[in-house]
Amino acid sequence: MAVDVLSTAEGRAKAAKSRTHAATWKAARDAGENIPLGTAAPPDHPARPARPELLSPRDVPKRKPGSPAGRIALLHAVAHIELNAVDLHWDIIARFADTPMPTGFYDDWVKAADDEAKHFNLMCDCLENMESFYGDLPAHHGMWRAATDTADDLHGRLAIVPMVLEARGLDVTPGMIAIFEKAGESEAVESLRTIYAEEVSHVAYGAKWFNFCCGRADSDPKEVFHALVRQYFKGGLKPPFNEEKRAEAGLPPDFYWPLAEEYPAYLR
Ligand SMILES: [Fe+2]
Ligand SMILES: [Fe+2]
């Protein structure tokens, strides 16, 4: 199921498969069936549509969020993040299938992959109602980098994807919601609120399984987190942080604040 999603290129089709497979998994679990995990080789890079054109972040044109074009660009960027997130959650399921994990680990990432597919669809709906569509603008090419860098390291994957990248989403989403509130664009406001509410659980899944892996290895989660972020995510973490939502997701301040000191002050 994971490789099927990862091998599907078109965005809406990928999202549809993600939702269908998640429903199949959940139905089996609810019925008390023991689903064999299986093995499958996920592709190094997931299949992606011909558009959007993927550019280096510095080549993606910056637009002011005060304009309708700027707001479309913002939603387009979120849609791109959500599509990457669909792949990231299925990838963690298939990539590390040889590491024994409790079934709840798979329940969580299947649920997260289902949420991301819903989020991608919400962003596409908003774009289409604003006379645009996913693929209309260029997008960042570097988003799969975190997956490539941590392809052999489940601990590293958990530290970087949910606990750094998705946690960053919690920091920036309230500001995005405010932009669309100010513009009176209620569909985008509602959609971003749904995303914001559901992303907390993805960060929480990350923290939960990261702590589980550390406990199994008898290592200190905070120390391991700092070492892995320094290894895979150069440049430190960018404040300000959403301390309230991070706490709700099980990310304590002593995990991220020491890494913020490594973020260059002139970029803040
Ligand atoms: Fe999402
Ligand atoms: Fe997420």
pLDDT given at position 34? 76
If you measure from the C-alpha of residue 112 to the centroid of ligand 1, how many angstroms do you get, rounded to a whole number?
8
If you measure from the C-alpha of residue 85 to the centroid of ligand 1, how many angstroms do you get, rounded to a whole number?
7
If you measure from the C-alpha of residue 105 to the centroid of ligand 1, how many angstroms do you get, rounded to a whole number?
18
CA distance linking residue 237 with residue 250, whole number of Å: 17
C-beta of residue 168 within 8 angstroms of C-beta of residue 256: no
pLDDT given at position 127? 98
DSSP secondary structure code for residue 62 in this structure: P
Query: Strand, helix or coil at 140?
Result: strand
pLDDT given at position 266? 67
Question: Would you tell me how many other CB atoms lie within 10 Å of the CB of residue 162?
Answer: 31
pLDDT given at position 98? 92
Residues making up the chain, counted from first to last? 268
Q: Environment class of residue 77 by beta-carbon count within 10 Å: exposed (0-12), middle (13-18) or buried (19+)? A: middle
Query: Strand, helix or coil at 100?
Result: coil
pLDDT tens digits, the chain, 268 residues: what are they? 999 999 999 999 999 999 999 999 999 999 999 788 888 899 999 999 999 999 988 888 888 888 999 999 999 999 999 999 999 999 999 999 999 999 999 999 999 999 999 999 999 999 999 999 999 999 998 889 999 999 999 999 999 999 999 999 999 999 999 999 999 999 999 999 999 999 999 999 999 999 999 999 999 999 999 999 999 998 889 999 999 999 999 999 999 999 998 877 666 6
If you measure from the C-alpha of residue 261 to the centroid of ligand 1, how many angstroms do you get, rounded to a whole number?
27
If you measure from the C-alpha of residue 206 to the centroid of ligand 1, how many angstroms do you get, rounded to a whole number?
14
C-beta of residue 210 within 8 angstroms of C-beta of residue 234: no
Looking at the CA of 166, which ligand is closest? 2
Q: Which of 52, 47, 44, 39 is nearest to 18 (CA)?
A: 47
Looking at the CA of 200, which ligand is closest? 2
Supply the pTM of this predicted model: 0.96
At which residue do the structure tokens 């649920």 appear? 111
If you measure from the C-alpha of residue 165 to the centroid of ligand 2, how many angstroms do you get, rounded to a whole number?
9
pLDDT given at position 267? 66
Question: Would you tell me how many other CB atoms lie within 10 Å of the CB of residue 199?
Answer: 23
